[in-house]
A and B are shown apart, each in its own frame.
Chain A
């Protein structure tokens, strides 16, 4: 077994192996996609109404619908009880 500090010249060759480069098109495509993604993230962070809109959609809307439904149901029950003389 070879000790860590006893690399032969061939093993040390790995250090000097050719650095492969992806083709120019690939490099530019990846860069452009990443820039676009970063810009998108920045835009999303810069618009606070996004968070407010999300809050409205997820919390306020269902709550409002639930309240209206409950009021309607109570009124229906109230009318029904009155109808039967309670």
Chain B
């Protein structure tokens, strides 16, 4: 979505135009959901937070400043809702199993060979991501999956750009470490299979 279209959508949203809402919804619904699923690791929680995020947009549509960037605005609301949810419910347990359950609903339908090849790598990355603490996981998702700039991420996470940069560096290091652990595990599993 180019900037001009975005500005026009912000203005039309403020006027209560349902078509503008649909355009924004179609653009960001899947991305927000993926972000929330990977952050919360629970599909039902992600759906609730997704709904609340969109309702917040409708509620605040009339008060958006004309230069609002919709992506960062929506991701800010989504992540704030998630961390509020964490605080109120005190949920921070490992739910790798529920994340693995998501694979059955993947939208892309590759060939069985592609599925086996890419699936293994994706699974490894997903597992490594779930092992990274949420505050670091969110910056990884915003940076690598959403392609946000450090300035945008700093706004979304409510920290200074310098703090964000540090957090991102640590997050990358954590993920790389988790991926290395996964690789070593895989290698030792392969070796065991060869020797048996």
Contact = CB atoms under 8 A, between A and B. Distances in A.
Interface residues on B, range: 35 or more
Interface string B19-59: 00110010001110110010000000011001100110111
Nearest to A35: B18
Interface in A11-34: 11-15, 17-23, 26-27, 29-31, 33-34
Interface in A33-55: 33-35, 37-39, 41-42, 45
A4 B106 CA distance: 29
Determine chain A's interface SS by DSSP, over half rule: helix
B50 to A, nearest CB: 6
B144 interface: yes
A17 B105 contact: no
B29 A27 contact: yes
20 contacts: A2-B172, A8-B176, A14-B175, A15-B144, A19-B30, A20-B37, A20-B106, A21-B30, A22-B46, A22-B47, A23-B105, A29-B51, A34-B21, A34-B58, A37-B55, A37-B59, A38-B16, A38-B21, A41-B16, A41-B62
Given A14-B144, A14-B175, A30-B51, 15 more contacts: A1-B170, A2-B176, A10-B124, A10-B125, A14-B125, A14-B141, A15-B144, A18-B106, A19-B31, A21-B29, A26-B51, A34-B58, A35-B18, A38-B16, A41-B58
Interface of A: 1-4, 7-8, 10-15, 17-23, 26-27, 29-31, 33-35, 37-39, 41-42, 45
